[in-house]
Each structure stands twice: as structure tokens, then as C-alpha cells.
Amino acid sequence: MNQTAADDRSLPPALADVARAEFDYADGEGIDFEPYDAFDSAEETTDWLRQWTGNPELDGDAYRVFGQDGTGGLAAFWYGRPGRPLVEQPVVFMGSEGECGVVAGNLFDFLWVLADGCGPLEAVLYEDREPRPDAALTALAERHATTPRRPARDIIAEARAEFPTFAEDIDGLCR
């Protein structure tokens, strides 16, 4: 399925499976992630981005929000690769306290990050976190991923190397 930024907001099959998965917070040792069963609407995404940045001139067209952590930080696809399908876009996290970063280079790498016991919040805030592989999320990744399994730490580092100025670019949008 070749989705672009102008297409509807239906979840890719792999992300729909993530939305049905169980995430164990495990008193702070697990994954703090609450996936949505649908993308936020264009209006909700624009409102969120404007509030997050304090910039009323922005729209949310470059993002597809698909989940949050317990504090309200959001996980989203970011159209950082113009013209490429949604599943090939990077996954980013923008936290409730202004923290942000690239989590994975695409949906399939994101599945491996989850399988390694790391959610979007953990990927951005806790780089040295020890892996906590999750059997159910590993099985989900094995069913859907088209990228090879790698440790979350490596996937996150690769994505950040590809998009090294993401956080600074977001800071530049803030008012």
C-alpha cells in the first residue's frame, strides 16, 4: 500500500496490529506506550502541533499521530522523506515536556524497537536502556517487518544519524 501525505488516515496493517497489542508498563521498567486504533485527524494533529510549538502558523500535514505515552507525549510518522510511502517514513516522538527525537527510520524498524522492549518515549529519553525483549511484540515484528532484526539501540542510532537535525528543526518552529 503506497500512502502519501495526501491520502486518508487509515493505519497500515502492521500498525493496526500494534494497536491491538498489550503493552506492559511494568512499574516504569516496561514500555510506556498507548497505541491508537486510528490516526489523529488532520485537525487534531494541527491543533497539537500548534500547541506543542506555540506557533499558530503551522499545520500538522507532515505528521500522522498514532499513539501516546502516559504523560501525553505523542508518537507519529513524520513525512521526512518526500514522495515515499507512509511505512517508509521515520517514526518520531514529541514529549509532553518538550523532548523530541527520531525513534526509527520506518515502521518496520519501529516494530523491532518495540520487540526489544523499547517504546517511543524510552527511545528518546533513555538511550542506555537495557533491552527487555517481548515475545508477543517480537512475533508481531516477525509477521510484518521487511527490515532485519537489530537491537533497538542500533535502530535508534541509525535513524538519528539519518535525521540528525530533527530536534533542532522542531525547536526552530517553536515560538
- Tens digits of residue pLDDT in 8-47: 678 999 999 999 999 988 887 889 999 999 999 999 999 9
Mode of pairing for the β-strands spanning 100-104 and 34-35: unpaired
Could you tell me the pTM of the whole model? 0.94
User: Hey, how many other C-beta atoms are within 10 angstroms of the C-beta on 70?
Assistant: 12
CB-based contacts of 43: which residues, under 8 Å, 6+ apart? none
Mean confidence (pLDDT) of the chain: 93
Q: Which letter does DSSP use for residue 106 in this model?
A: S
